[in-house]
Amino acid sequence: MFFVSELDRNTAREIIESLNKGNPPARGLEYFTVGLDDYLQVIEKEYLSTYIKNGGSGFKAVIAQYGQGKTHFLYAIRNLACNNNYVVSYATLSPDETPFHKLELVYSQIARRICPPSKDASSLEQGFRSVLTYWYQTKIDEFKGKGLEGEQLSNAINQYLEGIKGLESLSFERAVRLCFKFLHEGKDEDFENVVTWLQGEGYDASYKKKYGLMHKVDRSHAMQLLRSLAKWVHIAGFSGLVLLFDETESQPSFSTRQKESLLNNLRQLIDETTNPNFGHVMLFYSFPGLDFLQSKSLTYEALKQRLETVFEFKNPYGVRIELEPQNEKVVEQLIELGIKLSKVYAVAYDCSFDQNNLQTSIKTLAEACYRERYGGGLRRRFVQASIKVFSELRQNANFVLTQDEAEKLAKGG
Distance from C-alpha of 325 to C-alpha of 286, rounded to nearest angstrom: 16
As for how many domains the chain has, the answer is 2
What is the predicted pLDDT for the residue at 327?
A: 67
DSSP assignment string, 78-122: HHHHHHTTEEEEEEEE-TTT--TT-HHHHHHHHHHHEE---SSGG
Whether 50 and 122 share a structural domain: yes
170-196 burial, b if ≥16 CB within 10 A, otherwise e? Answer: ebbbbbbbbbbbbbbeeeeebbebbbb
Query: Could you tell me if 61 and 307 are in contact, meaning their C-beta atoms sit under 8 angstroms apart?
Result: yes
Distance from C-alpha of 351 to C-alpha of 57, rounded to nearest angstrom: 47
Whether 48 and 112 share a structural domain: yes
Domain that holds residue 58: 36-129+220-322
Q: What is the pTM of this model?
A: 0.92
Q: Is 194 helix (H, G, I), strand (E, B) or coil?
A: helix
Query: Could you tell me if 389 and 365 are in contact, meaning their C-beta atoms sit under 8 angstroms apart?
Result: yes
Amino acid identity for residue 276 in this structure: P
The answer to whether position 206 is within a domain reads no
What is the predicted pLDDT for the residue at 111?
A: 97
320 - beta bridge partners?
61, 310
Phi and psi at 180, nearest 5°, equal -60, -45
The answer to whether position 159 is within a domain reads no
What is the predicted pLDDT for the residue at 250?
A: 58
Whether 99 and 242 share a structural domain: yes
Whether 336 and 400 share a structural domain: yes
Last residue of a domain, one of 291, 322, 353: 322
What is the predicted pLDDT for the residue at 374?
A: 79
C-alpha dist (Å) from residue 378 to 233, 255, 333, 334, 344:
38, 29, 12, 9, 20
What is the predicted pLDDT for the residue at 355?
A: 97
The answer to whether position 265 is within a domain reads yes
Q: Is 281 helix (H, G, I), strand (E, B) or coil?
A: strand
Work out whether strand 86-93 and strand 114-115 pair parallel, antiparallel, or are unpaired: antiparallel
What is the predicted pLDDT for the residue at 298?
A: 67
What is the predicted pLDDT for the residue at 90?
A: 95
* Strands of 187-294, DSSP E: 240-247, 281-287
Work out whether strand 240-247 and strand 320-322 pair parallel, antiparallel, or are unpaired: unpaired
Query: Could you tell me if 362 and 389 are in contact, meaning their C-beta atoms sit under 8 angstroms apart?
Result: yes
Whether 343 and 286 share a structural domain: no
Whether 64 and 79 share a structural domain: yes
Instruction: Kindly report, residue by residue over 356-406, the tens digit of the pLDDT.
Output: 999 999 999 999 999 988 777 889 999 999 999 999 999 999 999 999 999
Whether 334 and 302 share a structural domain: no
Whether 226 and 86 share a structural domain: yes
The answer to whether position 104 is within a domain reads yes
Closest CA to 333 of 402, 288, 287, 379: 379
What is the predicted pLDDT for the residue at 141?
A: 97
Span between the terminal Cα atoms of the chain, in Å: 34
What is the predicted pLDDT for the residue at 292?
A: 66
Distance from C-alpha of 114 to C-alpha of 96, rounded to nearest angstrom: 21
46-76 burial, b if ≥16 CB within 10 A, otherwise e? Answer: ebbeebbbeebbbbbbbbbbbbbbbbbbbbb
The CATH number of residue 249's host domain is: 3.40.50.300
Q: Dmax of the chain from CA atoms?
A: 77
Query: Could you tell me if 348 and 13 are in contact, meaning their C-beta atoms sit under 8 angstroms apart?
Result: yes
What is the predicted pLDDT for the residue at 262?
A: 80
63 - beta bridge partners?
287, 322
Last residue of a domain, one of 281, 301, 322: 322
The answer to whether position 64 is within a domain reads yes
Whether 103 and 245 share a structural domain: yes
The answer to whether position 213 is within a domain reads no
92 - beta bridge partners?
246
The answer to whether position 176 is within a domain reads no
89 - beta bridge partners?
114, 243
Whether 309 and 394 share a structural domain: no
The answer to whether position 256 is within a domain reads yes
What is the predicted pLDDT for the residue at 294?
A: 66
Whether 225 and 374 share a structural domain: no
What is the predicted pLDDT for the residue at 2?
A: 58
pLDDT in single tens digits along all 413 residues of the chain: 556 778 999 999 999 999 999 999 988 999 999 989 999 999 999 999 999 999 999 999 999 888 888 999 999 999 999 999 999 999 998 877 788 888 999 999 999 999 999 866 556 679 999 999 999 999 999 999 999 999 999 999 999 999 999 999 999 999 999 999 999 999 999 999 999 999 999 999 999 999 999 999 999 999 999 999 999 999 999 999 999 999 876 555 667 777 788 888 888 899 999 988 899 999 999 988 777 666 666 667 888 888 889 998 888 999 999 987 666 689 999 999 999 999 999 999 999 999 999 999 999 999 999 998 877 788 999 999 999 999 999 999 999 999 999 999 999 87
